[in-house]
Amino acid sequence: MSRIAGTTYFKIDGDQLSLTGGIEVPLNTLIRDDVIGLDGSIDTKETFKAPYIKGTFKVPKDFPVDKVTTAMSMTATAELANGMVYVLREAWLSGETPFNAEEGTADLEFHGKTGFFQ
């Protein structure tokens, strides 16, 4: 039996941040959708999605808020429990980033110019 889920390590420019769960990386960034004609013909269209890493992070007092919220060219690495490593290059924080003070966490989504599995 092999491990496919569990402990995950996340780093931005070498600084490790702690996740509480919910890490997600894309398996693909080329999205194919159906285009179905009224005559029953089926074709496809392709769109691209930015590579990303998103998760729920613990936010201790020394959390690098300034770096995470202002940097535009970070390298983010997610070492997943199943042994896969996803690397996001030229990354930035995407969208709103509310801090949940009751839980001490923030849901963060990083997008980048390139993303790949090592």
The residue type found at 98 is P
Mean pLDDT of 1-17: 83
Query: What is the distance, to the nearest Å, from the Cα of residue 109 to the centroid of all Cα atoms in its chain?
Result: 5
Reported as a pLDDT band with limits 50, 70 and 90, residue 21 is confident
Catalogue all structural domains in the chain, each as residue range(s) with its CATH number: 9-117 (2.40.30)
Q: How far apart are CA 53 and CA 34, in angstroms?
A: 26
Question: Could you tell me which residues are beta bridge partners of residue 106?
Answer: 57, 99
**pTM metric for this prediction:** 0.89
Give the chain's count of helices (H) and strands (E).
Answer: 1, 11
pLDDT tens for each residue of 29-87: 999 999 999 999 999 999 999 999 999 999 999 999 999 999 999 999 999 988 999 99
The answer to whether 25 and 87 have CB atoms below 8 angstroms apart is no
